[in-house]
Structure formats: structure tokens, C-alpha cells
Amino acid sequence: METRANYALVGMFTLAVLGAAFGFVWWFSGLGGGNDRRDVRIVFSGSVTGLTPGSNVLFNGLRVGEVRSIQLFPDDPRSIFAVINIAGTTPVREDTRARIEAQGLAGVVAIQLIGGQRAAPPLTAKEGQLLPTIVAERSEVQDLLETVRNVATRTNDLFERLGKLVDDNDKSVANTLRNVERFSNALG
């Protein structure tokens, strides 16, 4: 009789652990209800390097959601849009701004939503749009990368011009060096 009780106890414990695991997954995935969320589309012009589905969405530094998808506009290859899923309580207004920001030195990228005026109306989908849309501003990362590219291009141009100057005047430079050597020998 005692062995049957042990089997029943082990079986009940196994079912309880499986039920708890299922409940945790259900709660963590947001299927458990009470999960007021909404989608917003963010339009970027230029590169979104490092942004991936699952990247964080921050509102004034506080995590409020994640990136669901990233796609190219079929009409304009320079434009990219991301669909973000944010908490329904996030106060996204018509004048809310968005940009890409790097978090820390690891290169992790997130979308930063920057507040708006309290009196501004809530962000809603315009006529002809499926989702409310925010046009992103250029990020500091994009500005920094563009500045680095410009400095590298200018430095490369300078070295090319300097090399051309030396190549064009190599005889004059050689004569000048010989004259300096003669002058130094004469002083000696």
C-alpha cells in the first residue's frame, strides 16, 4: 500500500511542476490577459545598424516594449520602418520623438522614445495608415559615424595630395637634401 502512495505522490508532484512551468510560460509570453499593449510604426531614413527584432524600446530611458519587426519600404530603399510593441500605458503623443541610441559600450542598440507635451493629443493612426506612425530623427550614433567617415575621407585626401606633392617634386627635394648635407659638411 505504501508504494502506491509514493507513486501517486510523485505523479501529483510531476503534474504540479508541469502546471507551474506552463503557467510561467503563459504569464511571461503575455497571454495571461491584463496585457494592454499596442503597436506603433517608427520610420527611419538611413541606416539602422544594430537594431534587430527583440531590441528594447525605451521611453525617456524606461523600458516600455520591444521591436517586433524591421522592414524596408518597397517604394523607397533609403527608408526603413520598425514596428514596435509598447505598453498601452505609455504616453505616446503626436509630438513624441524617436531615435536609435546605443546602450553602453557593448554596442546594444535600442529605440528611444522621447516624451512630448502633456497637452499634445495622443498618437493615433492617420487616414490611410494601419498603425500610428512616428518619423524618427537622426541619432547621435548616425551623426558620429558620419563625422568619422568625413574625417577619414578628408585624411585620405590629404595623404593622397601629400604623396602626389612629394612624387611631383622628388628631384627638388633630393637636391635640397644634398644642399643641406653639403652645408652641414662645410660647417663641420
pLDDT digits (tens, 9 = 90+) for 154-163: 999 998 998 8
Q: What is the pLDDT of residue 89?
A: 87
Of the pLDDT bands very low, low, confident and very high (cuts 50, 70, 90), residue 2 is low
CA atoms within 13 A on the CB side of 102: 12
Compute the distance between CA of residue 153 and CA of residue 180 in angstroms, rounded to an integer: 35
pLDDT, mean of residues 61-67: 90
Of the pLDDT bands very low, low, confident and very high (cuts 50, 70, 90), residue 24 is confident
Element (H, E) at 20: helix 2-28
Predicted confidence (pLDDT) per residue in 113-163, tens digit: 988 888 888 888 888 888 888 888 876 666 777 788 889 999 999 989 988
Residue 31 has pLDDT above 60, yes or no: no
pTM of the model as a whole: 0.60
| Summary mean pLDDT of the chain | 84
Per-residue CA distances from 88 to 9, 26, 64, 92 (Å): 44, 19, 9, 9
Q: What cell was used for 129?
A: 495608415
Compute the distance between CA of residue 155 and CA of residue 159 in angstroms, rounded to an integer: 6
What is the four-CA torsion angle of 149, 153, 155, 156, rounded to 10 degrees?
130
CA atoms within 13 A on the CB side of 72: 7
